[in-house]
Amino acid sequence: MQNIKVDEALWASSMLPEGIVERWFISSGATIKVGERIAEVRIEDALHEIIAPANGRATIVAAVNAVIEPGSVLATLDGTLRPG
């Protein structure tokens, strides 16, 4: 199992220590592919897309409107599949 986290670098120019999960482009339990857009988070006034780091079945951990911090787990990825 792999965690899908919010990249801490997204806060590089932010004054606020937290953000918000704006929306999910997938549903919990969906099979996703590496590079697929899976979520969007808001940090201050900027929206950032979260991209799937690998193939597998995603389980959403952070709901829409959840407050997140750098490194927060957004979802878990089970049964990582090989690209191909």
- Which CA distances in Å does 61 have to 74, 78, 84? 5, 13, 27
Strand pairing report for 73-81 and 2-5: antiparallel
Domain ranges of the chain: 2-81
Q: Does domain 2-81 have CATH number 1.10.10.60?
A: no
**Predicted pLDDT at 81:** 53
Global pTM value: 0.85
Confidence band of 60 (pLDDT split at 50, 70, 90) = very high
Choose between 82 and 49: higher pLDDT.
Answer: 49
- Rounded to 5 degrees, φ, ψ at 19 are -140, -170
